[in-house]
Amino acid sequence: MQDILLFLISSLALTLMPGPDILFVINQSLDKKKNGIITSLGLCTGLIFHTMFLAFGLSALINSNKDLMTFLKYFGTMYLFYLAYLEIKSVNKINKSLNSKLFLRGLYMNLINPKVLIFFIAYFPNFLFSDTIKISNQFLILGFVFILQALVVFIFVSVLANKLIKYLSIDSKNKMLKYFKSFILIIIALLILI
């Protein structure tokens, strides 16, 4: 139990560190907190896939295939550049259908980021906590703990980012804010590329 608690504490610290996922949640929350929450659900659904990959050995196969890792990295970067382009293009438009796309954006964002997969492979084995429970089951338990804390953190960050925008009286339809959101997407793309 102590190992799982240590895992939870270190996972909270890692999730709160400014990285692509947190930046993406903040970026999507600037218009509406609901947008950030839906995006968070998509991101955490992606974490379910990564947990399954790890628990059932698929991640080792993917990690050993450098061409696939390179493809995911560049595809992820291009996808985020595309989202940045859509954000700039929407400066003078109101996109009412965005809500239906937010979950998938979060899911894609998580699945196409090879660093998440590498992180799971490097991080989870350090917190195996039992000699009697199958390793795959331990990975599933750790994955559940990680996903749960990530969802709580992402939703908290989403609400906080939206409240800050409102507190500062920044209009979410402001052109400069749209350009700022595009800039953040480009930063996230470059972080994945590095």
Ranges of beta strands (E only) in the chain are none
Position 60 pLDDT exceeds 70: no
Residue 57's φ and ψ, nearest 5 degrees, are 80, 0
pLDDT tens profile 99-128: 668 899 899 888 887 778 778 888 888 888
**Whole domain around residue 130: which residue ranges?**
2-193
| pLDDT tens-place string over residues 134-161 | 888 999 999 999 999 999 999 999 999 9
Q: What is the pTM for the complete model shown?
A: 0.79
Averaged pLDDT score across all residues of the chain: 83
pLDDT in tens, 83-92: 788 777 766 5
Residue 154 amino acid letter: F
Per-residue pLDDT, 25? 92
- What average pLDDT does this structure show over 3-17? 89
What's the half-sphere exposure (Cβ side, CA atoms, 13 Å) at 12? 8
- Count of domains observed in the chain: 1
State how far the Cα of 42 lies from the Cα of 30, in Å rounded to an integer. 17
What distance in Å separates the CA atoms of residue 66 and residue 43, rounded to the nearest whole number?
A: 24
Q: How many C-beta neighbours within 10 Å does residue 57 have?
A: 12
- Tell me the three state secondary structure of residue 33: helix
d(CA 118, CA 155): 24
